[in-house]
Amino acid sequence: MSETFLTPEEIAELTGIRTGRRGKTREQLQAEWLRTTGLPFWVNARGRPTVPRSAIEGKQANVEPPRKKWQPQALNPDGSLKPNPDGSLKEG
């Protein structure tokens, strides 16, 4: 059993799809189901969906929240120029 990824049997249990049908393989149907549910997965070189175990167990990697993008004080939050104290807009 892999500690990082779900096994093919676990993916079949999760999706409820054990066989292909309507001209699609089991793996294609499983990938479609995973897309509709929003679970993160990758398709490996053999065409099999690979699901990280952390997506199911609720454990998340220590990811820092994105930093606030730096913006010069001369700009408003919408990107427009702030007026000078005299009301004019000084460019360049």
Whether 45 is covered by a domain: the verdict is yes
Residue 63 has pLDDT above 60, yes or no: yes
71 pLDDT higher than 70: no
| Residue with the larger pLDDT of the pair 81 and 18 | 18
The answer to whether the CB of 26 falls within 8 A of the CB of 14 is: no
Could you tell me if residue 89 is inside a domain? Answer: no
Q: Is residue 53 included in any domain, yes or no?
A: yes
Query: Please, what is the average pLDDT of the chain?
Result: 83
Between CA 5 and CA 44 the distance in angstroms is: 12
Total domain count, the chain: 1
**Domain limits for position 29:** 8-57
Structure confidence at residue 83 as a pLDDT band (50, 70, 90): confident
Is the residue at 63 inside a domain? no
CA dist 12 and 51 (Å) reads: 11
Query: In the structure, what pLDDT confidence band is assigned to residue 74 with cuts at 50, 70 and 90?
Result: confident
d(CA 46, CA 43): 8
Do the domain assignments include residue 86? no
